[in-house]
């Protein structure tokens, strides 16, 4: 698989474009994403499953960049959504709702109604009360909607407790043993057509074994359900395929497909996949500029202009992201440093105790593997505007999102009339 980001001619390039030139032109912090890498990953995954009836749904919570969504919609890929807001974004790019799955433990009536009206493919139901709520919504609209139940196979997988989802004490899914009862009760819900099983065992899983174990449990369950007279046509295995952050060697899509093939052989199920990170994680970097280098007796800090509000993964999950100099300085001294941002939190770091060639103020650094759960988790903490985003394809690039301005940070807010400062008092000290 081609590397989207590589040093050529002394400078980091995103496909054919100099990252240094992008940073100069569009400022930092800057998310730079390779469209080529993203589409190549999608096509490779899709190809690996050739011969197994399947459909791929991009889990857009990983990256909701409009350019990426549009490009993927053109490829005919579907989407896995978790909110009305995500559906709205898909509609903004003209993606076909008939290729959309709606997951999540807390769908509201309004969200379910919007999705049902749009004519999405399927709802992934995560609790019995949700099934009843969806039935009410569908009845009111006079429609029948398709659904599956998200079952919890009680398989432990995932790189970090916060992204491990399928053990039995997780808020996600329904207990495995309840499935027959749920399918039976769902027959009384006349506006639901429950035809599948959904599961998602966790994220950043680098081996095939947990997927195979979960798929086997699901296929067993389908047999039981069919024996009870239920029609089950789809098995959604969720996302979770891992990527290389720190030298991991995650299972390839071909290995994943080869391991699942025997499990699915003869099962007469259409396989749904919901990859997020696998498609987009290594398609993006976060480019930042070094502001200061602070050396102390205990620790050295490289202070950059990106922070936890731009990329929260290191702070939240102790995630390890590679850090590359955009223009390496041959011969620079190497030291262990913390790469930190300007946010007022000791948890605000992009890397800790990292052996790096010590940069100079003004140098550019690229934080690797920032394409998944990067920009989508950005916030305005410390009243920092969110970064700009650039999409690269070959030698071309487009700004798909401009940098937020300070005025953007005030959008939608107001001071209550009674608390407003009289014009004469503005900018004056209230108490002398």
List of residues contacting ligand LLP (CB under 6 A): 59, 62, 80, 103, 163, 200, 203-204, 238-241, 274-278, 313, 317, 372-373
The residue from 227, 344, 395, 422 that is catalytic is 344
Nearer to ligand LLP, 191 or 200 (CB): 200
Distance, CA of 410 to CA of 426 (rounded, Å): 18
**Smaller CB distance to ligand LLP: residue 18 or 203?**
203
- Tokens read off for 90: 């898909």
Which residue in 316, 297, 294, 295 sits closest to 307, CA to CA? 316
Q: Please report how close the Cβ of residue 377 comes to ligand LLP at its closest, in angstroms.
A: 6
Q: In the annotation, is 344 catalytic?
A: yes
Q: Give the closest residue to 205 by CA, choosing from 238, 234, 168.
A: 238
269 vs 326 by CB, closer to ligand LLP: 269
Least distance CB 25 / ligand LLP (angstroms): 29
Of 281 and 325, the one with the shorter C-beta distance to ligand LLP is 281
Shortest Å, Cβ 140 to ligand LLP: 26
CB of residue 76 vs ligand LLP: minimum separation in angstroms? 19
Contacts of residue 274, Cβ cutoff 8 Å, sequence gap at least 6: 57, 58, 59, 80, 101, 103, 200, 236, 237, 238, 239
99/325 with CB nearer ligand LLP? 99
The answer to whether 104 touches 83, Cβ cutoff 8 Å, is: yes
Q: Which of 406, 404, 395, 408 is nearest to 22 (CA)?
A: 395
Q: CA-to-CA distance for 169 and 154, rounded, in angstroms? A: 9
CB of 56 to ligand LLP, least distance (A): 11
Q: Which is nearer to ligand LLP, 156 or 335 (CB)?
A: 156
- Alpha-carbon distance values, 89 to 85, 113, 281, 393 (Å): 6, 16, 20, 22
Q: Is 354 helix (H, G, I), strand (E, B) or coil?
A: strand
Exposed / middle / buried, residue 414 (Cβ in 10 Å: 0-12, 13-18, 19+): exposed
Rounded to an integer, what distance in angstroms lies between the CA atom of residue 403 and that of residue 400?
10
Least Cβ distance, residue 67 to ligand LLP (angstroms): 19
The set of catalytic residues is: 344
């Amino acid at each position: 698989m081609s590397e989207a980001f590589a040093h050529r001619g002394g400078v980091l390039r995103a496909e054919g474009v100099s990252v240094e030139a992008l940073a100069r032109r569009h400022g930092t912090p800057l998310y730079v994403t390779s469209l080529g890498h993203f589409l190549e990953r999608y096509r490779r995954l899709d190809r690996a499953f050739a011969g197994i009836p399947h459909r791929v749904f991009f889990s857009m919570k990983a990256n909701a960049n409009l350019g990426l969504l549009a490009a993927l919609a053109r490829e005919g890929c579907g989407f896995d959504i978790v909110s009305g807001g995500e559906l709205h974004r898909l509609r903004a790019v003209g993606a076909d709702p008939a290729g959309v799955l709606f997951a999540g433990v807390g769908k509201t009536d309004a969200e379910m109604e919007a999705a049902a009206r749009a004519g999405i493919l399927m709802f992934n139901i995560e609790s019995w009360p949700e099934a009843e709520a969806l039935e009410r919504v569908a009845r009111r609209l006079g429609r029948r909607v398709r659904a599956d139940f998200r079952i919890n196979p009680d398989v432990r997988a995932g790189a970090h407790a916060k992204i491990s989802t399928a053990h039995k004490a997780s808020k996600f899914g329904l207990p495995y043993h309840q499935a027959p009862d749920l399918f039976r009760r769902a027959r009384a819900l006349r506006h639901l057509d429950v035809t599948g099983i959904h599961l998602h065992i966790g994220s950043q899983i680098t081996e095939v074994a947990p997927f195979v174990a979960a798929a086997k449990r699901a296929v067993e369950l389908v047999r039981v359900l069919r024996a009870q007279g239920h029609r089950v046509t789809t098995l959604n295995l969720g996302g979770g395929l891992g990527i290389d952050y720190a030298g991991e060697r995650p299972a390839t899509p071909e290995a994943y497909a080869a391991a699942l093939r025997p499990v699915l052989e003869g099962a007469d199920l259409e396989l749904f996949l919901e990859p997020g990170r696998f498609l987009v994680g290594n398609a993006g970097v976060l480019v930042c500029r070094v502001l200061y280098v602070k050396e102390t007796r205990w620790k050295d800090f490289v202070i950059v202009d990106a922070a936890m509000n731009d990329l929260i993964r290191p702070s939240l999950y102790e995630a390890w992201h590679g850090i590359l100099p955009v223009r390496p300085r041959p011969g620079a001294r190497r030291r262990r440093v913390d790469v930190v941002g300007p946010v007022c939190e000791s948890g605000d770091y992009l890397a800790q105790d990292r052996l790096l060639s010590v940069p100079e103020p003004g140098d550019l650094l690229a934080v690797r593997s920032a394409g998944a759960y990067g920009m989508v988790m950005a916030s305005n903490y410390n009243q920092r505007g969110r970064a700009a985003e650039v999409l690269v394809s070959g030698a071309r690039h487009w700004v798909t999102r401009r940098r937020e301005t300070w005025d953007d940070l005030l959008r939608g807010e107001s001071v209550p009339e009674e608390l407003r400062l009289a014009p004469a008092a503005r900018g004056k000290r209230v108490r002398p």
